Structures are given as structure tokens and as C-alpha cells.
Amino acid sequence: TGTYERPPNGNFDYPDGASETGIDDAQTLVSGHDQQLQNTSYTISVSNRADGEETASLTYRYDNEKELSLRTEDLRESQNEIVEDYNNQEIVIAQNLGSNNVTYQRNFLRQPAPYTAGFELRNFIGAANYTATEVVQQEDGTEVVVYEVDGLSEQTQQQVDDLTGEVRLSENGQFTRVDLNVTTTVRGQEITENQVVEFSDVGSTSVEDPDWLSTARQQTEEPE
């Protein structure tokens, strides 16, 4: 959790949309988070567990110098990898890696900017009310304020039975971790999912072409 902790009303410089009393404007915060990652490299790790069992995980690494990203998806029944080449506007997909049924696709890359988990953050941050509990220093020396869930938003109350967890926010407006437990009732059965999003290696992530990329390009046509 860090090398030290202190109350949230200390010297922490809260970014626009946040304060020591809570998260005031989720939209402003997420926009600021996106801006912090626009011109740098970074790694995003996303995991989902249902009733204690991992159902899916995703690792997204973006190298801004090469304008290249590599997304790895570990699902229950398959592993997929996706290369997004923003310089050449090309996306190459390898499905079912590690099996005897690997398939490849190659298409135009239509999204204008790298993935920053902004969509997930908007949903998570807007789902609840938060209270600042402490300021901690992370292992890389970054100071973050820890916000804990303090009740559901009015809209979320209609869809979710319970929500617990925390989010961590740095002084420059970048989220470093979201860790939430969401409890819902599906067909009369209560299910608790744990969803974690972590941001790391900001400014130091590098991406190399995966081993399968040359084979994928040989077996697919160049996008017209």
C-alpha cells in the first residue's frame, strides 16, 4: 500500500474534479487521466473474478515512440493477442494462441487513439460516491489519494445490490488503480465480481513485435 500513509487533508494537490471530501466530477477526472497518457507509454492490466474464480484478464501495453500497442486477452477458453499499429493504421489479431486452431485477421485500425481504459473508468467512478481516506506513497514514489466507496449512485442502486472497494488517484490526475467488488442478483442467484484495473510503467513501457506477427501477415491480405 505504500511506504507511508497520512490523512487526505495534508499537502496533496488534488486535480480538477477531486477533493479531500470526495470525487466531485468523474467526467473531468477521466478526461484528465486520458490527457496524462496521451503522449507517453504505459501498461494497463485488467482482471475480472467471479465468486473468487478468474474469468478474464487483459494486459495492454502501449509504446508511444513506436506508436505500437500489444493487447493480450486471457479468457476461459482461449488466449488472443492484438497488435495495433497506429503509425500504419493497421490492426492484426491472433486468436486461440497456444492451440492447434490459431487464426489471424488483419484490418484497418479505425480507432484514433490508444486504449486508456477511459470507458471502464467512467462506469466505475460514476457508479458510486467516494470518500478520501488516506494519502499513500507508491513503490515508484508517486503519491496517490485513496478513495473508498461510500454508497451507490442513484442510477447504480437500480442495477447493483452492493459495491465496495477503492480507487487511487495521483496529483497529476492519473488513476493508478481501481479495485471494486460488485454484487448483483442474476436469476435469483447472488454473484460477486471483483474488477481490478491497474496502470503501471508509465513512461517506460516498450513493445516488440510478437513472434506470430510475421506469420499473420503472410497468411492475411494487406488492408485496402
Give buried/exposed letters for 118-146 (b at 16+ CB in 10 A, else e): eebbbebbebbebbbebbbebeeebbbbb
- CA–CA distance, 221 with 101 (Å, rounded to integer): 19
User: What is the structure's pLDDT at 1?
Assistant: 46
- pTM, two decimal places: 0.90
Residue 58 has a CB neighbour count (10 Å cut-off) of 19
Share of the chain above pLDDT 70, in %: 95
How does residue 8 score in pLDDT terms, banded at 50, 70 and 90?
A: confident
Distance CA 150, CA 69 (A): 36
- For residue 14, pLDDT over 80 is answered with yes
**Average pLDDT value over all residues in the chain:** 90
pLDDT in tens, 167-206: 999 999 999 999 999 998 888 888 899 999 999 999 999 9
> Is 17 a residue whose pLDDT tops 50?
yes
**Would you say residue 51 has pLDDT above 90?**
no
What are the pLDDT digits (tens) for 122-137? 888 888 899 999 999 9
**What pLDDT, on the 0 to 100 scale, is given for residue 13?**
93
